[in-house]
Chains A and B, each alone.
Chain A
Amino acid sequence: MNGIPVEGFMYPNEIELQWSVLIVLYPFLTGLVAGAFILASLERVFRVDAVKPTYRLALLTALAFLLVAPLPLQLHLGHPERSLEMYLTPHTSSAMAMFGFVYMWYLMGVLVLEIWLDYRSDIVVLSQSTTGWKRLFYKVLTLGSSNISDRSLEIDNKVGWIITVIGIPSAFLLHGYVGFIFGSVKANPWWSSPLMPVVFIFSAMVSGIAAVMLVYMFLCWARRVPIDMRCVDTVAKYLFYTFLIDFTLELLDLIHRIYESDESFRSLDFMVHTKLYFPHIVIQILLGTLTPILLLAATQVLPISEARRKLTYAVAGCLTLVGIFAMRWNVVIGGQLFSKSFLGYTTYKMGFVAREGLLVAIVLTILPLFILWALIKLLPPWLETHSLDVSPLASAHGDD
């Protein structure tokens, strides 16, 4: 069909891949969201003060990626105009049907609310210290309340804490559910595994922590301010430990498959050694997992200078993101390259300028960074209320 190279025998309808690079992007983006949020919760709930400089940045990063996360799905649908039906008439036995609800809950019930509560005092101050459209924008964001008295901020803080506590299982739910979408497909032995949601959650944490660490380091460099090494060292330490758990889980899955050697094993093993060798063995495991783990391990045990640690973290962070993207690729694309008859293999042909092509994927990957840039401009993570000239009106007891 369409000149797609096939080896062995595929059921005739299997030759064309159904889920493209856009479906690879979807778990990658939601993983970054969940991971960034869990990093933010370290400071808020678990009182890890060292990571405080990344707290707000992590929240904004999560929001930027969450806003883009549904776009690849929308672009992939045969009938995007019908996507609202998932909200209106959800099929309750479908894992995918719950996406809309989990997504909306996480976006509106957790992330936006937490960001608003955390930024509220800044928003009130900005609504008075800025002019023009910005003033109007911040005025709207205050939602009519300019009360930033100590008592009011204390309440904000308490509510924010509760939301973060609820947010942690929500973040797990958001990404665990993505893993479940794949893990619950019994027709596909490459996907079908109860470990899938857990592996997805831990890989999400790995990618989110790495992304926030990289964004923080980049922003410090761009703003020409020194990197808080205590913060980055702590983030890197969490990245290292989370990565170890993630890799252990993946190894457990692998060992289980090898030892059990069920009917699908020979077919999958052949695929991993041929069609999936480069993205799976070389990119995901060697380059994207073992190398960053070894680099991070070196920073934990060897006396490395600050300058070299920064470089090591930057390299390890980038490789981590490459590795996690490769993991998503290997799950989504790898799961469609072999026949459910276990007798053959097809090929994924990715277009460049196509609805589900490489160009769209690149745009969708970069888009969250632009959104993050805009969010940082509007809600600077390093803005502290006390450093601004707060007008008496704002600090007074306003409309409670």
Chain B
Amino acid sequence: MTITRRQLLILLPAAAIAWDSILAGTPEASPNYNMTDHWWGMLIDVTKCIGCGTCVQACQAENNVPDGYFRTWVERYHVADWSIENPQVDSPDGGKHGFPPAAKEGGKNFFVPKMCNHCADSPCTQVCPVGATFVSPDGVVLVDQKYCLGCRYCIQACPYGCRFLDPTTNTASKCTLCYHRITKGLTTACCETCPTGTRQLVDLKNPNDPVHKFIETHSVQVLKPHLATQAKAFYYGLDGSVR
């Protein structure tokens, strides 16, 4: 078979595209997963958190999060008396190794796990100059590491401090809600390892999801509701002092 110059000119770009796909590799198969069937969120029951930091460790191990940066962390609050506008907060190393004994007595003490709120109207995706960060059809805010410029505008725009510039890739990084796991029917690493069931993945499109039912029937709160980000990290038992 002979190929004419004209045919070669047509074939070369097609071959280049094909080669590009080969180099990109084959994504792991999730044959039964349909993105539009889900709308993911998280329930965080503050009353159950014991501040052990297992979730932080699991997240770092599962997602290769560099030391000193956090896709999730735990904060410890101490509110003396009625002054909820002046809480004392600490989070040594993101609470990864737990917390030292509290020096403060009286008032109330509690732990608050934090993570990306996977906002439906996320300010971070709004500002990305190239659309490298986006809300997936199943409601997870993700970053395309191969496309991100590293301008860090999204980090500035996140009201919850959930993003950072990964020094190993020089791109924005954040909680992916363990997307590689949840699309295979698993739960997130932090939910999986939480010894008290503080964190629970919720599918807000699934009416039969018991966590969904819990959110439906209990008083839950999101962080910074006045910013109207349509956050999907729902907190149960949240104190008004939490920022």
Contacts and interface: CB of A to CB of B under 8 A. Distances in A.
A83 interface: yes
Given A12-B91, A13-B161, A18-B165, A343 B243 contact: yes
A13 B164 contact: yes
A386 B205 CA distance: 78
B156 A12 contact: no
A263 to B, nearest CB: 8
A94 B150 contact: no
B158 interface: yes
B128 interface: yes
Contacts of B156: 18-19, 185, 187-188, 335-336
B151 A77 contact: yes
A340 B159 contact: yes
B114 A91 contact: no
B57 to A, nearest CB: 14
A94 B153 contact: yes
A139 to B, nearest CB: 38
Contacts of A94: 126-131, 153
Contacts of A19: 152, 156
A343 B150 contact: no
A94 B123 CA distance: 10
Interface stretch (A28-36, A95-103, A216-224, A291-299): A95-103
B148 interface: yes
A14 interface: yes
A50 to B, nearest CB: 42
B44 interface: no
A238 interface: no
Nearest to B152: A18
B130 A89 contact: yes
Contact of B89 (A9, A186, A336): A9
A9 B123 contact: no
B130 A11 contact: no
Given A78-B150, A85-B147, A187 B159 contact: yes
Contact of A186 (B147, B159, B163): B159
Given A1-B68, A12-B70, A99-B129, A83 B149 contact: yes
B51 interface: no
A94 to B, nearest CB: 5
Contacts of B155: 13, 18
B171 A91 contact: no
Given A90-B129, A340-B160, A187 B165 contact: no
- State the main secondary structure of chain B at its contact with A: loop
A342 interface: yes
Interface string A208-220: 0000000000000
B89 A91 contact: no
Nearest to A92: B131
Contacts of B39: none
- State the main secondary structure of chain A at its contact with B: loop
A339 B90 CA distance: 13
B18 interface: no
B147 A185 contact: no
B53 interface: no
B170 interface: yes
A260 to B, nearest CB: 14
B69 interface: yes
B128 A187 contact: no
A1 B93 CA distance: 9
Contacts of B123: 185-187
B227 interface: yes
B130 A186 contact: no
Contact of A97 (B90, B129, B159): B129
A2 B163 CA distance: 18
B119 to A, nearest CB: 11
Interface in A103-153: none
B234 interface: no
Given A12-B91, A187-B158, A341-B243, A79 B150 contact: yes
Nearest to B174: A13
Contacts of A188: 156
B129 A186 contact: no
B121 to A, nearest CB: 11
A188 B196 CA distance: 34
Contact of B73 (A12, A83, A86, A335): A12
Among A1, A184, A339, A343: residue with most chain B CB under 10 A: A343
Given A1-B68, A77-B150, A78-B165, A343 B129 contact: no
A11 B159 contact: no
Contacts of A97: 129-130
B232 to A, nearest CB: 17
Nearest to A332: B156
A47 interface: no
Contacts of A76: 151
Nearest to A11: B161
A82 interface: yes
Interface in A299-352: 335-336, 339-343
B60 to A, nearest CB: 12
Given A85-B149, A341-B89, 4 more contacts: A94-B126, A185-B157, A186-B159, A187-B157
| Minimum-distance CB pairs A-B, first 5 | A78-B150, A11-B161, A78-B170, A187-B159, A91-B131
Interface of B: 68-70, 73, 75, 87-91, 93-94, 114, 123, 126-131, 147-153, 155-165, 169-171, 227, 243
25 contacts: A9-B89, A10-B161, A12-B69, A12-B73, A12-B94, A12-B161, A13-B163, A18-B155, A78-B148, A78-B150, A78-B169, A79-B150, A79-B170, A82-B149, A85-B147, A86-B129, A96-B151, A99-B129, A181-B153, A185-B127, A186-B123, A339-B161, A340-B159, A341-B243, A342-B243
